[in-house]
Chains A and B, each alone.
Chain A
Amino acid sequence: MLLLQNARIASENSPVLLEADVLIVEGKIQDIGNNLAIPEGARVIDARGRILMPAMFDAHVHFRAPGFEAKETITTGSEAAINGGITGVVMMPNTRPAIDSAMVVATVLDNAKHRSRIPIYTSGCVTKDRQGKELAEIDGMRELGVKMLTDDGDTTNDPAVLLRAMQYATEFGMFFASHCEVPELAGPRALNEGVMSYRLGIKGSPACAEEIIIDRDIRLAHAAGAHVHIQHVSSKLGMETIRWWKSRGDVKVTAEVAPHHLLFTEEHIGNYDTNYKMNPPLRTQADCDALLEGLIEGVLDLIATDHAPHTPYEKAQDFISAPNGITGLDTALVSLYHYFVEPAKFGWDVVVKRYSAEPRRLMGLPVAAIEVGQKAECLLFDTEAETTFTREFMKSKSHNTPFLDQTLKGRVDLVILGTEILLER
């Protein structure tokens, strides 16, 4: 039994915070109200000044298992999630072996059960070994609970293959998540084609490489009657393409944006800083502004980190050789608060809706609202405190993030999942 007193409660429905006590009994929210009586044996937490909100859910993470456990494991990845106030994640299947069959899905989920304190979901590949040629065994994966099909890390390049997959898998109630990139245009380097690629003398990837596939994959979904989810949108025109398709209303399309695409531009790469090397690449301030607008408006349905850990050894190479990606689970919520909520770019309702409710809806999961009768799946956030992202603080095995050793406003103080307190600071 847990009584949180005088918390300010955030919900997806209103930017206004409701101040109340919340009583949690046996992992469920039993009562919400002012001056609730303290039941015998209850632990009381003074939450005055702090914000109580549903725990976050990240629909795009790379936990690198199986195959790349030097970068991350299911244990370190899920602890990083908890550290950041996240109580559920969807793993991407670009592992080795790739998560492309019932057998690999079973292994991964079995591992997750024993090695994680939060539920782990996995997506499955569209094609065998992500080669873009033969369809993966889709129904076998569905039986084990896979809902999202994606060759993330690469686009399923042959439109005929993707169209057939969509026609096939939609019958099983599955949806497609698209990593959008024309490989012939993008080349192997993750750097926006523009001022910075010119300055650094590295071949860039133009935004149109992404925009073409955004449009193509929505068209394919339209033709197949499928649901397509556009991953990590990074460009203004990409966002506008999604907006246009959504406005037609005759195709199911959702989309996500990563915090780094809202926060950073190509200029941050500076003198070849590989912590800013990611795919899709960081683009311009105009793109950031458009993405923020799209997020608030709901063109971009959800926030997902694309948590992509790499070892220091790999990231310390020259810019061209270094792998793409940035970690995000430890830092996402605090950075969203520091850069957007605190300066009043958007309210807590946007955070809850885009990073807690919508990702769960995408996965067909119940939304974790702070309401009587709901399962307790929530966190306490201190807006007055600060977080310094030292190596020791972060639980991810890798530290390839520009936030390393940075101090931001806000701190995740408490994470509750059912009857368990997963984190308490």
Chain B
Amino acid sequence: MARKDLLDIASLHREEIELLLDQSTSFKKLFTRSVNKVPALGGKSVLMLFYEASTRTHSSFEVAAKRLSADVTNFDIAHSSITKGESVRETVETLQAMRTDYIVVRHGRSGLPGLIARQTKASVINAGDGAHEHPTQALLDAFTIKEKFPDPRGKKVLIIGDILHSRVARSTSTLLQKLGVEVAYLGPGSLVPKYGPATIRRFTDYQAAMAWSPDVVYLLRVQMERQDVQFFPSLREYHRLYGITNDRLAEIQQRGLYIMHPGPVNRGVELCDAVMDYERSLITNQVENGIVIRMAVLDWLTPGGDAPRAEPTFGRSYERSC
């Protein structure tokens, strides 16, 4: 069952997911015994290709690769001379010449890591593409939930926020459902589309969503930068309708619900400050688990498996036409 790339959660089989989560557990045990490194990827090279800034995911992958003894190279997009036009195509040609083994790519265009994967023998890991998928985030979320609920089947996760633009919501809910978790969405009607998956409950009212009795409340980061038109009137109104306010936190504490967030948090928007001190907030657990998950993914993929297909090339944006 060797895979060259990890591009999405949708195409992962349940056994593959279990394997990755088990492997992450072993890595985690190893590192609590204060072992610094394992030689698994000794002599291999990992290239970080981040077209969108992300301190968190970027450093998590970097630490993971180094713990596996791989060499890490950062492709400095911001300071390279390449313009937006031909950048991806030229970059991939360069990478091909550099014979890197793994490429970790984040890009604002949905589907772009898949295009790169088809052109290179290197293993490509999607570290977030547009509003499409963010598979390692989903895996670390599942891992974090499994630490609290070893058998997560039948548990309920309520994902709150901008579902429409969130790759985290797509990947995480797909993965949780594959593990038998029930998922519901809550958010403004303009950001929780009616045409989302039919297997996911859709709420626009906080009280109604809490009446569904979730075990975990998963808050998404409000990403104003992804919104080309206004989807809700103000952050203040958003916080009032969908944020974890002090009052709502009291109810959550009383019910003993877990809180998750992929970070970075907009304090005062998705949640009030007090949430950060709540003992059932798993936000820092998610960060820690990100490293072992990414180690498991790097360790699992097999570079060079598929011969690259020659035909896809891509470059500058063309004007609207038909």
Contacts and interface: CB of A to CB of B under 8 A. Distances in A.
Interface of A: 62, 94, 152-154, 179, 187-188, 190, 193-195, 197-203, 271-272, 278-279, 306, 308, 312-314, 316-325
19 contacts: A153-B321, A153-B322, A193-B195, A198-B164, A198-B196, A201-B130, A202-B131, A272-B111, A278-B322, A279-B320, A279-B322, A308-B322, A317-B313, A318-B115, A319-B110, A320-B110, A320-B130, A323-B321, A324-B322
Interface centre among A188, A190, A199, A306 (most CB of B within 10 A): A199
Given A201-B110, A201-B132, A312 B311 contact: yes
A317 B314 contact: yes
Contacts of B80: none
B261 interface: no
Contact of B313 (A193, A194, A313): A313
A210 B112 CA distance: 28
Interface residues on chain B, size class: 20 to 34
A154 to B, nearest CB: 7
A324 B131 contact: no
B322 A201 contact: no
A193 B197 CA distance: 14
A195 B185 CA distance: 16
Contacts of A320: 109-111, 130, 317
Interface of B: 10, 88, 109-112, 114-115, 129-133, 164, 167, 170, 193, 195-197, 228, 311-322
Contacts of A313: 313, 315
Contact of B314 (A154, A203, A316): A316
B183 to A, nearest CB: 14
A318 B322 contact: no
Contacts of B115: 272, 317-318
B92 to A, nearest CB: 12
B316 A321 contact: yes
Contact of B111 (A188, A197, A200): A200
Nearest to B89: A317
Nearest to A279: B322
Given A62-B322, A314-B318, A324-B321, A272 B313 contact: no
Contact of A318 (B112, B170, B311): B112
A152 B321 CA distance: 9
A247 to B, nearest CB: 29
Nearest to A324: B322
Contacts of A278: 322
B110 A321 contact: no
Contact of A154 (B164, B315, B320): B320
A350 B170 CA distance: 44
A278 B320 CA distance: 10
A200 B132 contact: yes
A272 B287 CA distance: 31
A179 B322 contact: yes
A22 B17 CA distance: 68
Given A200-B132, A202-B131, A94 B321 contact: yes
B17 to A, nearest CB: 19
Given A194-B195, A313-B313, A306 B132 contact: no
A272 B114 contact: yes
A194 B129 CA distance: 19
Chain A interface main SS type: loop
Given A94-B321, A324-B320, 16 more contacts: A94-B322, A152-B322, A153-B320, A198-B196, A201-B129, A201-B130, A202-B111, A272-B110, A279-B320, A306-B322, A316-B312, A316-B313, A319-B109, A320-B317, A321-B318, A322-B318
Chain B interface main SS type: loop
Contact of B193 (A152, A198, A322): A198
A188 B109 CA distance: 13
A279 B42 CA distance: 49
Nearest to A308: B322
Contacts of B132: 200-202
A197 B193 CA distance: 11
Given A194-B195, A321-B109, A202 B321 contact: no
B157 to A, nearest CB: 19
A318 B193 contact: no
A203 B195 CA distance: 13
Given A306-B322, A313-B315, A324-B320, A187 B109 contact: no
A198 B131 CA distance: 9
B226 to A, nearest CB: 10
Contacts of B314: 316-318, 321-322
Contacts of B197: 198
Contact of A202 (B10, B110, B228): B110
B170 A317 contact: no
Contacts of A323: 318-319, 321
A132 B193 CA distance: 33
A200 B318 CA distance: 20
A424 B265 CA distance: 69
B128 to A, nearest CB: 10
Contacts of A322: 314, 318
A318 B109 contact: yes
What 3 A-B pairs come out closest when comparing CB atoms? A201-B131, A201-B132, A317-B314
Contacts of A202: 110-111, 130-132
Interface centre among A154, A314, A319, A325 (most CB of B within 10 A): A319
B111 A198 contact: no
Contacts of B10: 199
A134 to B, nearest CB: 20
Contacts of A193: 195
Contacts of A324: 320-322
A278 B115 CA distance: 19
A251 to B, nearest CB: 26
Contacts of A319: 109-111
Interface centre among A152, A153, A201, A272 (most CB of B within 10 A): A201
Contacts of B315: 313, 317, 321
B313 A201 contact: no
A278 B318 CA distance: 14
A177 B313 CA distance: 35
Contact of B195 (A198, A271, A316): A198
A75 B313 CA distance: 27
